[in-house]
Amino acid sequence: MQEDNYRERRLVPRFSIDIPLKYLNATIHKVCQARTFNISSSGLGLATEEEIATGTVLDIWLSMPDNHEQIPAKGQVVWSKKVDQKNYLVGVSLSNYALKPIPIVLRAIQAKF
């Protein structure tokens, strides 16, 4: 996004990476599939087929491609954008900064080669 008045507000670096995941939408008590499009220690960018309202709390399990380990996280949707008829991009702020994004990204990249 390159706009004249755009200013990056993130305090931690994000890494572009595609990792499959499951999430539990606490509002509707439904487990859904999605993929990350970026990751940091404080947040995730998700690509999903379901609309998720801002403020929704999610329980998330990243599925590591190298050994399918499930890495848990919990977060809250801070923004949601409809991309087309059935695809959405969603920004999630993590409530537990337990994710170590660099090892996760390196494992995901190594699994592709």
> Does residue 55 contact residue 49 with C-beta atoms inside 8 Å?
no
Longest dimension (CA), the chain: 43
What architecture does CATH give domain 16-112?
Beta Barrel (2.40)
- pLDDT tens figures, 42-79: 899 999 999 999 999 999 999 998 888 898 999 999 99
Give the integer Cα–Cα distance in Å for 97 and 100: 8
What residue ranges do the domains of the chain occupy? Answer: 16-112
Residue 9 has pLDDT above 70, yes or no: no
> What integer pLDDT is reported at residue 100 of this predicted model?
73
pLDDT, one tens digit per residue, over 20-49 is 999 998 888 899 999 999 998 889 999 999
The single-letter code of the amino acid at 49 is: E
Cα–Cα distance measured from residue 10 to residue 89, given in angstroms and rounded to the nearest whole number: 17
